[in-house]
Amino acid sequence: MKACFMSKRSAEVVFACAVFSLVFAGQGVCKPRVRDEVKIPDVGGYLTLACDFHMHTIFSDGRVWPEIRAEEAWREGLDAFAITEHIEYQRHEKDVRTNHNRSYEIAKGSAESLRLVIIKGAEITREMPPGHFNAIFLKDANALDVEEWRDAIKEAVEQKAFVWWNHPGWRGQQPDGKSIWYEEHTELYKKGWMDGIEIVNDDEYYPLAHKWALEKKLTMIGGSDVHTPTGLNYDFHTGEHRSMTLVLSKEKSEGAIKDALLNRRTVVYWRKNLIGEEKYLRPIFDGSIEILNPEVTIKGKGSAYVQILNKSEVDFELESAGEVEEISAPGSVTLYGEKVNLLRIRGKKEDVSGEKEMRLAYKVKNLWVGPEEGLRAELVIKVNLVPAKKK
Ligand SMILES: [Zn+2]
Ligand SMILES: [Zn+2]
């Protein structure tokens, strides 16, 4: 009798679930929405915010509705983003009314409900020179819709925007993809109308622009410039991420992000590489790495394992940058992200003894302090050397 009652209840539950699923199907009730955090440590009292300040929607030549940009940003672990529609080019103008502020207005509610910072921006889209410029922290993007490119950039500057030169090595505007700095760029730079430069755009990296950024003290920017849904551009299930700018910011707010950008506190995250000034890359590396057993004992020419935790999501590719007298360590090693990695070190002599702090010097090949120039870093281990045979 009891068993019969139970099975009736089970059937009711199944029926209720089926009705619930039918009623709510399509309303997202049962669909998981999951955020994949960008795992790179905070440094020097600043938050490391994941940001993308370059993307498009159907309000210029993109393929998505603005609210989708907010959802993508949240799912991909961003903290802040800007939609930067072309002022001068609207691919869908027969279907979509011209209003350069509109994508921001539409995406704002979604962004805020997901606790994302959304910043109003636009892309001034001109022939080379000077090419394309992004302006963010705008008050009114429609005011940039003017005849002369100088007037458009001047208007952005008067609105106290942060302005940068986009994709300076883009093949569509530069011969053979070479980055050429024109007189017009000198003019903008001297007027203080160029705050930054893209050293990365989508899947492209521009070494010369990277050099200029360091020499001229321009803020380094990396943007996705995505036009399609991001899932069509990046293979997320293989661990790919969009090209982005990491902003070292006092807090997660529009004002603090602007302060960080004006003070060049950025690191560009492109493919498996972090690109930025040494003063930021070093604490990111040091803050990611933890040696779990910083003291080991080696008997004569025997070996010991050092366990190294990499808390970040970036796989650090290390290459030896110098020998240590008493021990040998691998010439190259990868410290995989979010893993504990084993480093095997060996004694070089049978009869040495004593406790010593060893500094294993490496170049981190994918942390670029200059154009494709790796950061020098050290792994510090205390080694207790014991002679192989005690007499
Ligand atoms: Zn562009
Ligand atoms: Zn663009």
Distance 141 CA to ligand 2 centre (A): 15
Distance 269 CA to ligand 2 centre (A): 18
Distance 225 CA to ligand 1 centre (A): 8
Distance 312 CA to ligand 2 centre (A): 29
- CA separation, residue 122 to residues 101, 162, 201, 257, 267 (Å): 8, 11, 16, 17, 22
Q: Which pLDDT does position 344 carry in this prediction?
A: 97
Distance 123 CA to ligand 1 centre (A): 7
Q: What is the DSSP string of 180-239?
A: ---HHHHHHHHHT---EEEEEETTEE-HHHHHHHHHHTPEEEEE--B-S-HHHHS-GGGT
Residues 170-205: tens digit of each pLDDT: 999 999 888 999 999 999 999 999 999 999 999 999
Distance 132 CA to ligand 1 centre (A): 5
Distance 125 CA to ligand 1 centre (A): 6
Q: Average pLDDT in the 265-288 region? A: 98
Residue type, 174: Q
Residues 345-360: tens digit of each pLDDT: 999 999 999 999 999 9
Residues 204-262: tens digit of each pLDDT: 999 999 999 999 999 999 999 999 999 999 999 999 999 999 999 999 999 999 999 99
Taking all residues of the chain, what is their mean pLDDT, rounded to a whole number? 93
How big is the chain, counted in residues?
A: 391
Please tell me the distance from the alpha carbon of residue 154 to that of residue 152, in angstroms, as a whole number. Answer: 5
Distance 368 CA to ligand 2 centre (A): 25
Please tell me the distance from the alpha carbon of residue 37 to that of residue 272, in angstroms, as a whole number. Answer: 16
Distance 84 CA to ligand 2 centre (A): 7
Q: What is the DSSP string of 83-98?
A: EEEESS--TTTTTS--
Distance 150 CA to ligand 2 centre (A): 19
Distance 226 CA to ligand 1 centre (A): 10
Q: Average pLDDT in the 365-377 region? A: 97
* Residue 12 confidence (pLDDT) above 70: no
Q: Which ligand ends up closest to the CA of 173?
A: 1
Distance 55 CA to ligand 2 centre (A): 6
* Residue 3 confidence (pLDDT) above 80: no
Q: Which domains does the chain have, with CATH numbers?
A: 32-271 (3.20.20.140), 289-386 (2.60.40.10)
Residues 109-156: tens digit of each pLDDT: 999 999 999 999 999 999 999 999 999 999 999 999 999 999 999 999
Distance 40 CA to ligand 1 centre (A): 28
Q: What percent of the chain has pLDDT over 70?
A: 92
Distance 252 CA to ligand 2 centre (A): 25
Please tell me the distance from the alpha carbon of residue 233 to that of residue 52, in angstroms, as a whole number. Answer: 14
Residue type, 371: P
The answer to whether the predicted template modeling score (pTM) of the entire model surpasses 0.75 is yes
Distance 173 CA to ligand 1 centre (A): 10
Please tell me the distance from the alpha carbon of residue 292 to that of residue 379, in angstroms, as a whole number. Answer: 12
Distance 64 CA to ligand 2 centre (A): 14
Could you give phi then psi for residue 103, rounded to 5 degrees? -65, -40
Q: Which ligand ends up closest to the CA of 202?
A: 2
Q: Which ligand ends up closest to the CA of 53?
A: 2
Distance 388 CA to ligand 2 centre (A): 64
Residues 185-205, buried b or exposed e (16+ Cβ, 10 A)?
Answer: beebbeeebbbbbbbbbbebb
Please tell me the distance from the alpha carbon of residue 264 to that of residue 333, in angstroms, as a whole number. Answer: 31
Q: What is the DSSP string of 139-182?
A: S-GGGG--SSHHHHHHHHHHTT-EEEE--TT-TTTSGGG-----
Distance 300 CA to ligand 1 centre (A): 61
User: Residue 79's closest CA among 108, 104, 48, 33?
Assistant: 48
Distance 191 CA to ligand 2 centre (A): 24
* Residue 14 confidence (pLDDT) above 50: no
